[in-house]
Amino acid sequence: MIELAKGRYAARLAEHAADLERVQRLRGQAFQRPGGLDSDHFDPLCDHVMIEESKSGDLVCCFRFLPLPNGREIERSYSAQYYELSALHDFQGPMVEMGRFCIHPDWTDPDILRVAWGAMTAYVDAQGVEMLFGCASFAGTDAEQYTDAFAMLKARHLAPRRWLPRVKAPKVFRFAERLRRKPDAKLAMGRMPPLLRTYLMMGGWVSDHAVVDGQMNTLHVFTGVEIAAIPPARKRLLRAVAG
């Protein structure tokens, strides 16, 4: 169970069908889904985190966790639809997939993201998770506008070879193979999605290609964070928020 209150915001797990419908409605708004709801067959398998503004009760952010006992179960994940993940079958410890992360488009307070990562930290600690993973998305499907960001991922953040996801999706951008330029660090970080930026600050790594997802109108990379490898200073900051 997650019960976390920081400043204006409180995080908790969805408890019933009405909570899940609110989550799906926010996702539908954020992802511009026809009919107003975003749902799939993974929803019943997941724990859903809700972040609400404490006074109004407005839902300002949500995401979901799919817990897995080890890498042998990774084919059950959402990410496995898009990436060939057999290299991760040998991962022995508990894993959790974080997905469908979204913040209400009318809310821009950076504290929302801090509370979200505090809730993530509390969940990871409570479940004894050893790897956090998911798909981190860039808006739109035009890779050219993110050239420096992808060049930075190639230069500094590719997955260790033993865990490297392979190509599965029919349409991908093989940035590690195609890009030869040295990234402009300021431009790269400016174009990096906030969620992915946080993953990287925790020592996260990414696939060597991005999936072109026309249905969601995104480019996304598989992202993994080995909990034991998170820098100690970063762990202290996350646990301070989660505490």
CATH number of residue 223's parent domain: 3.40.630.30
Q: What pLDDT was estimated at residue 240?
A: 81
Query: By C-alpha distance, which of 132, 226, 137 is closest to 173?
Result: 137
Q: What pLDDT was estimated at residue 49?
A: 98
Q: Which helix (H) or strand (E) holds 99?
A: strand 95-103
Domain count, the chain: 1
Q: Quote the tokens at residue 62.
A: 């949500």
d(CA 66, CA 136): 15
The residue behind tokens 């950076």 is: 110
- The answer to whether 159 touches 224, Cβ cutoff 8 Å, is yes
- The answer to whether 58 touches 25, Cβ cutoff 8 Å, is no
- Please give the average pLDDT of every successive group of 10 residues along the chain, which has 243 residues: 85 97 96 89 98 96 98 97 97 97 93 92 94 96 96 97 97 96 92 92 96 94 95 85 74
Q: What pLDDT was estimated at residue 1?
A: 64
Query: By C-alpha distance, which of 178, 165, 163, 205 is closest to 84?
Result: 165
Instruction: Supply the range of the domain harboring residue 54.
Output: 3-242
Q: How far is CA 68 from CA 13, 32, 51, 168, 202, in A?
A: 18, 29, 23, 21, 21
Q: What pLDDT was estimated at residue 72?
A: 97
Sequence-separated (6 or more) residues with CB below 8 Å from residue 19: 48, 50
Query: By C-alpha distance, which of 122, 146, 88 is closest to 239?
Result: 122
Q: What pLDDT was estimated at residue 142?
A: 95
131-139 and 95-103: which strand pairing? Answer: parallel
Sequence-separated (6 or more) residues with CB below 8 Å from residue 154: 175, 176, 179, 208
Please name every residue paired with 131 in a beta bridge, in sequence order, or none if there are none.
95, 226
